[in-house]
Homo-oligomer: A and B are copies of this chain.
Amino acid sequence: MEEKYLQSVKENLKKKGYKLTGPRLAILKYLLRKKGHHSIMDIYEKMRMKNDRIGIATIYRTVDLFLELGIVRVLTINNSKPCFEINWPGDHHHHLICKGCGRIIEFGSCNFIQIVGEIERVTRFSVKEHTLEAYGLCPKCAQKTEDYSTEKI
């Protein structure tokens, strides 16, 4: 699975005239291995700890390139630093973020496609992609909030 995907990325790079360099491959493998959502600094520091000493500028450049090629996608939670994740082909998912503890979980159910037609008809745009993030409270944090609200003061 990952091997096949790696191969497709290599072809993707080549087709567009980009080189398959050590740093690019290393960053790609890092993202494939770790799953999840990673900021620039995450990638830079974690890889450095594993003695993959790639310059910070190259991390920026590579992530930008991967974004452009659709290899990764970006997730910006509220007002904080953008995080990046592998854009697996066919894996359409969204994020549910706990406003209490910041935990992120993913969900696959998405009914946006049902209204795309109407939006295209009304706006005359052609719609290609979408992002959807939901915010709320995880069970633990919901419990805490409840505790406070019933607390005698």
Query: Which A residues lie at the B interface, using CB under 8 A?
Result: 64, 67, 74, 76, 78-79, 82, 96, 98-99, 105, 107, 109-112, 114-116, 118-119, 122-139, 142
Contact = CB atoms under 8 A, between A and B. Distances in A.
A interface secondary structure, majority: mixed
B124 A135 contact: no
Interface centre among A110, A115, A118, A131 (most CB of B within 10 A): A131
A114 B116 CA distance: 15
Contacts of A115: 109-111
Q: Count copies of this chain in the complex.
A: 2
B98 A125 contact: yes
A135 B139 contact: no
Nearest to A127: B136
Contact of A136 (B105, B122, B126, B142): B126
Contacts of A76: 76, 79, 82
29 contacts: A67-B79, A76-B79, A79-B82, A96-B123, A96-B125, A98-B125, A99-B128, A105-B123, A107-B119, A107-B122, A109-B115, A109-B118, A111-B111, A112-B112, A112-B132, A116-B134, A119-B134, A124-B138, A124-B139, A125-B139, A126-B137, A127-B136, A128-B136, A129-B136, A130-B132, A130-B134, A130-B135, A131-B131, A131-B132
